[in-house]
Each structure stands twice: as C-alpha cells, then as structure tokens.
Amino acid sequence: GQCEHDRYMEAPLSYSTIEDLQLLSWDNAPKYCVQLSFPGGTVLLQAANSYLRDQWFHSIQWKKKIYKYRKVLNNPSRWDVVLKEIRALVDMALTSPLQDDSIHQAPLHIISTLLAENTNLSAQDYENIIVAIAPLLENNHPPPDLCEFFCQHCRERPRSMVVIEVFTPVVQRILKHNMDFGKCPRLRLFTQEYILALNELNAGMEVVKKFIHSMHGPTGQCPHPRVLPNLVAVCLAAIYSCYEEFINSRDNSPSLKEIRNGCQQQSERKPPMPLRLLRPEPPTPPPTTTLSPPPALPLSPPPSIILVELERNNNTTNTLRKAPAEGDSEPNLIDCLLVSPALNALSIQLPAHANRVLGCFALILKMLSDYDDWRPALASLLQPIPFPKEELKYVIQRFAEDPRQEVHSCLLSVRSGKDGWFQLYSPGGVACDDDGELFASMVHILMGSCYKTKKFLLSLAENKLGPCMLLALRGNQTMVEILCLMLEYNIIENKDTQLQIISTLESTQVGLRMYEQLCDRQRELKELQRKGGPTRLTLPSKSTDADLARLLSSGSFGNLENLSLAFTNVTSACAEQLIKLPSLKQLNLWSTQFGDAGLRLLSEHLACLQVLNLCETPVTDAGLLSLSSMKSLCSLNMNSTKLTADTYEDLKAKLPNLKEVDVRYTEAW
C-alpha cells in the first residue's frame, strides 16, 4: 500500500515537461491509472472510474500537444513545415474525443496569432492556411482577429476561390446563428466584406442575389428567424459607413472617433448637436485618461428622424435594446444627414467607393423586400429610415403595396411627434423627389385598409390638404377619391376650401366624373333620409348586402329606428348603407358575417345607436374596441364572439350608459 504522504505532489509539474503519457493496461496494474513520464521520473494519476481516467488522459494529451503547436507556430522557421503543422493541429482538434468549445477555439487562436505576427506572407500562403483551417469553421464562429484577417482577404483578393468555397458556409452560419452583432462587431464586418467581395465578381449582383436566396431558403417561409435581422443590421451598418466621412466633415458634429474615445470637451468645439445615441454594438469603455469626464450628449430626440434599433426583432420577442447613455456611441445616421432642413439628404456627393457600397447594400434591402414572409419584420426594422437612394424608395413602395396591415401600418409614424415615411415622402417632405407619387400610393393602401377613415381623412385635411389638391389637379385618381370623400363626410368646414376642392375636381376628367357621381349619391341620400317611411324593418333571412342596398335605394327611411338583419348573409360591406340612416337606434346583426371593418365604420358615423346585437358574428377585439366612441350605447350583445376580458373591461370603462351586456361564451364570461 502507498503511504499517505505519497499522494500529494510537492511541486507543480508543467504540461510542457511531460515527455510521454499512457494508460496503464498490463495485467494486475493499479486500476484506472494514467502514467506521466517526466525528465525526473514518472507520476501515476489514479481516477475513480474509467470514464474519468479517459477524460484525464485525453485532456492532458490535448494540453501537451497544444503547447507543442503553440511553440512551433509561435516562431516558425520554414513555411512548408508550418502548413504541415497547421494541418496536423486542425486534424487533432477534429479527431479529439473531448467535447468542449476550446478544442476548436484554441487552434483558431493559435493560427490567428500566427497570421497577426507574420504579415509578409504570400497570397498563396494565406490561401493555403485558410483552406487548412476551414473544417474548424464549420461549427465555430471565427474569433475577432481571424475575422480581421478574413476581411482583409475579402478586400484584397475578392475573386479568390477561398471567398466562395471557404467563407460562404462561415458567413451562412454567422447569419443563421448570431444573436447579437453588438457582442462581436467583427463578425458583422466580415459578413459585410464578404458580400462586397461577391459583388466584385463578374456577375456581382446576381451572385449576391443567389446568396440572399440561399439564406432565405427555397420555401415560402425562411426557417431561420435570425437571418433577416442579421442581414438588416449588416446593410444598415454598411450604408452608415458610406456617410461616415461626410458626417465627420460637418463642422458641428463630433467625429465618430472622438465620440468613441469619449474625449470630447465642451470648450473645444461648438456644443454638440442632439444626437440620438443608437448604435448596433454596445460601447467599449472609454480609455481612462485624466481628461474631465465627457459630457453625456443630450438624449432629447432631435426634430428630425429616428433610426430604429437594429436588433428590434431579437428572435421573436420585441425586446428593444436601450441606447447607451455614455458619450460613447455612433450618432444616428439620419439625424446627422438631416439635421438642418436646408441640407437635403438627396444632394450628398459620396466618393466612388462609398457609392458602390451604398448601391450594393441598398439593392440587398430591395431584394429582402421582395420576400413576402420577411416584409412585416423588415418594415418594422426599417421604420422609418429615409435613405437617399432609389432602391430604398422601391422598398417603401413594396410596403405601400402590401395589403397586410402589420406591413403598411409601418408607413405611419412610430409615435406622435416623429415623422413616418408617410410624412417624409409627402410633397414638401424631406425625402420627396417624385411630386408625391409614392405618397399617393401610401394614401391608397392606408385608405383601403381599415384605418378609421374619417379620422384619417381629418388628419389629411389638417396636414396634407395642399399636396392632396395638387395631386388631384394633376389627375391622380386616389387623391380625387380622397377629395370626394372629404366632401361626402363633411370633413371640410370652410366654405371657400370646399369650393376650391370642387373646382379642383372639375378641372380633370376623372375628377369631374367622380364629383358627378358624388352629387348623384348626395341626391339619393337626401331622398333616403327624407322624413317618412317605416320605423321598424326586418330583412328576410338569407338577404345579401346587395338586397339591403336595393331596398334602401327605393323610398324614404328618415324615420327608421330599428333594423334587424339577423340570420341574413350581410357582411361588413353593408356598413356603407347603414351609416346613411340618420335615426337608427337599434341594430340587430345576430349570426351574420358582419366583421371588424364594418364596426369601425359604424363607430365613426352612428353616434346615436343605443342597442347593438353582435351575437355569433366574426368580430374580434380589433373592431370591438372602436365601439368605445359610441357613447349612447346602452345594450350590447357580444355573446359567442372573440371578445377578450381586457377589451370587455376597456369597453365598460368607456361606455357610461351601458346597462345590458351579454358576454356569454366569450373569454370575458
């Protein structure tokens, strides 16, 4: 047996002194032992079981070899040997049974140190090394120094085969798995340089397009939720970099370097402009110097435009990253470009290289907007960034043509006091360069969507009446419709303005035709609303929207107070007819297909409605919430609808006269 004191080593033994290492396997050998040979003798390590013994054996062996390679590659004498050693090192990492991140990271660090210290290698040497380490990059992001080296390779030799063959899978992996470029900005830079290298190839943009398609995948739905936010972050950072020089040359904006180093003293320059401090990566702590602490730039949002947080869609949760409050962040691109109204973003002259970069990444944003499944997230990530580039206008046009409300609602401002694309691209807006064509198509989609039409028309009449009239004068059909609706809904109170709208309409053929139709409708409306006719009306079951319209087009219904459409086939479309009934107090829509869009319209026009039955209709919270403006309601049946408890509470609070409510078979029951 061993004595007690033999079990402890008196002095530590370094890995580099281990000459040999083996498992004891002869008969009757002590169990679970590893034998280490040193210049001064041997050491036996005994483990509790064979699993732990193997763990020790492979770990020590790994450490010993890593020391050897570090030494050999730290001071290489012959390059032909180096390449052989690198291949052996990579092979060792790939075949090691140990499962640990460092098994692949350690060799990558050794090689990136080697590359950093030997800058005079031939291009061929570089390529051979990249090819040799490629297998390690299949499951690992390259460390920062290696990224730097890869970036340089992309810049200097964009057409080398390495770019396509080795870098493509690496970049694909980064885009699919990276959670936050803020923690590893070099990965973002490498992705950016890789894409620019693809763009340098003969069919540059085609190759980039294929790459984007490979990232999205062949189906209608991209299976990787990180790909889009990562691509957008790369594009915005690249586009930002194009303007960096221009922004830094502006006399009153602190240069990015100064901001990064946080050594900006108040006395040295004019007071900094209020920058909204957003940046796609968290700040590095400013170097400790004896300077007075940097003044934190004021965080009050400037009167221009906001650039949204790049990592808005972190996975699927909408966690907004907070902007750092230190004076150590990049100023927001848009604030810098548009801080003075006189400086129109469209007139900036960029150097040729910056223009190429801008063109490439603006085109990528354009490609991203062509994928239906990406458009909603893209719209919210970009909301609202007016870049001075034709391709980006195309992106906004795509948002304006998308019938999904989650997409086109991003055209409006993010919050009050901040202009959205809708304001920026209206005639007279900062980004408008097309006399308002894009503006008109935005109005078109927003009107067609279930926005509160009256409210939307009111805001147009207050803020954008000039642009609307000018476009109508030039024969824009959407604007002609808008002006007719303004007259029909009595939005404009000023008589002179009404007359000007009428003469604007009469000055084009499309306007004249629509105005005449409006006058006919008004005459019919007067006829419909004339006092007289029944006070109660029940439509036969199975009646349709068209049947209701036909019935109301003959005779007077000025006295109609109670209308039942229960068990008919009417839909939201019949709301257009219902809002014409001036005396309507009770409306029964039980078991019809009347939905949210219809409710919104009723809530704007039928202020006197007292009794409403929506039992077994397809209405949801979105429509039911709009009922809160109908203050006369005293009886409301929402039995068997998709009403939720929250909306029910909200309605109870906002409808003071509500006495009878039926919420059976809903979540609020």
Residue 257 has a pLDDT of: 44
Q: Indicate if the pLDDT at residue 643 is higher than 90.
A: yes
Residue 149 has a pLDDT of: 86
> Could you give the domains of the chain?
1-75 (2.30.29.30), 451-531 (no CATH), 532-662 (3.80.10.10)
Residue 177 has a pLDDT of: 92
**Residue 165 backbone dihedrals phi, psi, to 5 degrees:** -80, -40
- Report the distance separating Cα 309 and Cα 282, nearest Å: 12
**Residue 443 backbone dihedrals phi, psi, to 5 degrees:** -60, -40
- Report the distance separating Cα 400 and Cα 541, nearest Å: 39
The letter for the amino acid at 658 is L
Pairing of strands 536-538, 562-564: parallel
Q: What is the mean pLDDT of residues 506-514?
A: 95
Express each pLDDT in 196-246 by its tens digit. Answer: 999 998 888 899 999 999 999 999 999 999 999 999 999 988 888 887 766
Residue 630 pLDDT level (bands cut at 50, 70, 90): very high
Question: How far from 384 is each of 31, 381, 393, CA to CA, in Å?
Answer: 70, 8, 12
Residue 515 has a pLDDT of: 95
Express each pLDDT in 346-372 by its tens digit. Answer: 456 778 888 888 889 989 999 999 999
Phi/psi zone of residue 32: left (φ > 0), alpha (ψ -120 to 50 degrees), beta? left
The letter for the amino acid at 61 is Q
Find the helix packing angle between 79-95 and 50-74, rounded to 10°.
160
- Report the distance separating Cα 62 and Cα 54, nearest Å: 12
Among the listed ranges 178-182, 212-216, 412-416, which one has the minimum average pLDDT value? 412-416
Express each pLDDT in 248-268 by its tens digit. Answer: 665 444 444 444 343 333 333
- Report the distance separating Cα 581 and Cα 527, nearest Å: 11
Q: What's the pTM value of the predicted model, to 2 decimals?
A: 0.69
Express each pLDDT in 283-333 by its tens digit. Answer: 333 333 333 333 333 333 333 333 333 333 333 333 333 333 333 334 455
Residue 183 has a pLDDT of: 86
Q: Which residue has the tokens 């990406």?
A: 374
Range among 143-147, 327-331, 631-635 with highest mean pLDDT value: 631-635
Q: Which residue has the tokens 């004498």?
A: 77
Contacts of 619 (CB under 8 A, 6+ apart): 594, 595, 596, 599, 638, 641, 642, 643
Residue 519 pLDDT level (bands cut at 50, 70, 90): very high
Residue 190 pLDDT level (bands cut at 50, 70, 90): very high
Distance, first Cα to last Cα, the chain: 79
14 CB neighbour count, 10 Å cutoff = 8
Among the listed ranges 108-117, 211-220, 496-505, 553-562, which one has the minimum average pLDDT value? 108-117
Express each pLDDT in 39-80 by its tens digit. Answer: 888 888 888 898 998 888 888 888 888 888 888 777 777 777
Express each pLDDT in 13-28 by its tens digit. Answer: 888 888 888 888 777 8
- Report the distance separating Cα 375 and Cα 367, nearest Å: 10
Residue 585 has a pLDDT of: 96
Residues 63, 68, 69, 73: is their CA dihedral positive or negative? positive
Residue 99 has a pLDDT of: 84
Q: Indicate if the pLDDT at residue 644 is higher than 90.
A: yes
